[in-house]
Structure 1
Amino acid sequence: MSDIIEAYLKKVLGTDEQVEIRRSEMADRFNCVPSQINYVINTRFTVQQGYLVESKRGGGGYIRIIKVKLLDEADMLDMMIDVIGSEISQRNAYSIVETLYQDSMIAKREASLMLSAMEKSVLSLEDCKKENELRARIVTAFLNNLRYEQL
């Protein structure tokens, strides 16, 4: 169900660059609970994936999803580094690499190498927090390298 909702929203975004929805209307359209819509938006439309999400609560409330297109690649890399902070999950790290590939900032081979360096099986730490911290340092190093190559 999440894939269907995501595909629908991306199809709408493909023509408009932004979409404004009402959570309850989307839930009715896809015959699901409103929290399913929240889940899709929170996991599939993140800054790491190139989206901004704005919401207004209340009777006339809405959720607005905006596809972000940054003009300067160095600014985009800096923004990603800021978003990562001190730790990042494997899923969010993969989203960053996917965005870099989709925006043609890295080639397919570079993306594959980056992904394999961040896999849970490679890092394999018993402490999830320490694993996410190590992954954040790896991703940040990759992004810094890309940023400096751009200058």
Structure 2
Amino acid sequence: MRNVSEVIEQYLKHIIHQSTDGIVEIQRNELADQFDCVPSQINYVISTRFTLEKGFIVESKRGGGGYIRIQKIELNAHGSVLDHISKTISSHIDQSASEGLLYQLEESGYLTPREAAMARAAISRDVLVIKLPLRDEIRAKVLKAMLISLLSR
């Protein structure tokens, strides 16, 4: 049985996919009522599953009539993918952000599930048993080299 967070995530992804421009605006309280949960559950889902690394831009407006806008970043051109990788990785990247980037590239069809799994394994903190911040710097170099190699085929 799926938990509430997964159901909310799937619902939001579905309505984003259905929208013509890849953007959805929601009212946090209304969504919480719809899923019979507390509004902080909606915040949790959005802040953990709709991140920049996973290919989403989130903005919110507080107050009466406020909303949360979620926009899917489309990676349509090869150059924009490489630019996005360079901007996301820079000189260091933590494990969470790197996994989010791999998820986004897999979801967009730029990586196969096998390629993404191999990259995850190579950059895992269980493999890179080095103290921070050096671990995040090495992870960035390895991940960037792997992705450029895979996407330049």
| TM-score tier after normalising by the smaller chain length | 0.7 to 0.9
1:32 is aligned to 37
- Distance in 2 separating the partners of 1:44 and 1:71: 21
Please list, as runs of the form range in 1=range in 2, the aligned pairs for 1:40-119 lying within 5 A after superposition. 40-119=45-124
> Contact (CA 8 Å) 2:75, 2:108: kept in 1 or not?
no
Instruction: Return the offset for 1:144.
Output: 3.4
Instruction: Tell me what 2:11 maps to.
Output: 8
**Runs of 5+ in structure 2 lacking a partner?**
none
Deviations 1:49-105 (A, max 9, x none): 221212212212111111221331221221232123333232321221122222222
Separation in 1, partners of 2:134, 2:56: 28
Question: Counterpart of 2:99 in structure 1: which amino acid?
Answer: Y
The residue identity in structure 2 corresponding to 1:52 is: I
Aligned residues of 1:48 and 1:80 also touching (Cα < 8 A): no
Q: What residue in structure 1 maps to residue 144 of structure 2? A: 140
Structural RMSD (CA): 2.1
Offset of residue 146 of structure 1: 4.5
Distance 1:63 1:38 in 2: 10
Deviation at 1:118, TM superposition (A): 1.0
Aligned residue for 1:18?
23
Q: Structure 1: 5+ residue runs without aligned partners?
A: none
Hey, which of these two has a bigger chunk of helix by percent? 1
TM-score (normalised: structure 2) = 0.82
Partner AA of 1:24 in structure 2: N
